[in-house]
Amino acid sequence: MAEPDRSVQQNGGPMRLVIATCTVDYAGRLSAHLPLAKRLLMVKADGSVSVHSDGQAYKPLNWMSIPCELRAGPDQWVVTNPKGETLTISIEVVHLDIEHEMGDEPGLRKDGVEAHLQELLAARPEAIAAGLKLVRREYPTDIGPVDLLCRDAEGRAVAIEIKRRGEIDGVEQLVRYLERLDLDGRLRPVRGVFVAQVIKPQAQVLAAARGIGCVEVDYDELRGLDTGRLTLF
């Protein structure tokens, strides 16, 4: 007997991990095709769907963020969202299909330097850019809190993510926060600033492509309540 279709709603349910030989087709703002290969299909409890290969740990090959709906049959998954985008996964062979309740996520625990950087910059956001005023530390989004939410001199919202060492995954994390914050009409449009002691060149390039500013800070100078040696890219 064929497995019945299953619909995954926007929220609720266990995480589902499927290893399958499949093709993937995206239709929306553009068209994209992934040829037949073995891949990991991940359905999170919030309803988001992502397709992974055995590489590129920081980013899936394709994905559909919430809000979206998945109709998962034995041979084909179809994921749609309110924007009219469609992700179609055609399955030839299923090698593994498991579900697991992950439980509550306590969130990222920052190391001492990173946590202290956040504390110092929350007290002195103008050290990042003139005119910045703090709205809140750990401002919540539905995918986790952004380190600082500020307003600039013109009253525009600025989301700031702080790392000890700035790498590509930190920029991608801020991009995801900006997408969620921009859904709030009280904040939109939200500008992003990526802050770290050292920001790798690749992360600077990606940030520039995403319209995100980069600021390097000197931790020792900030601890000494100096104005800090800051570099804005």
Cα-based torsion angle of the residue sequence 168, 187, 69, 172 in order, rounded to the nearest 10 degrees: 0
Task: Give the whole-angstrom CA distance, residue 127 versus residue 118.
Answer: 12
Task: Give the whole-angstrom CA distance, residue 86 versus residue 27.
Answer: 5
> pLDDT digit of tens for each residue in the chain (233 aa)?
344 445 444 456 789 999 999 999 999 888 999 999 999 999 998 889 999 998 766 688 999 988 899 999 999 999 999 989 999 999 999 999 999 988 776 655 555 667 888 888 888 898 898 899 999 998 998 888 999 999 999 999 999 999 988 999 999 999 999 999 999 888 989 999 999 989 999 999 999 999 999 999 887 777 774 444 444 44
Q: Which domains does the chain have, with CATH numbers?
A: 6-100 (2.70.180.20), 112-232 (3.40.1350.10)
Which residues, including other chains, have CB under 8 Å from residue 233's CB and lie 6 or more apart?
A: 199, 204, 207, 208, 213, 214, 215
Q: What pTM was estimated for this model as a whole?
A: 0.52
The single residue listed with the structure tokens 């809000």 is: 67
Report the half-sphere exposure of 162 (CA within 13 A, side-chain side). 26
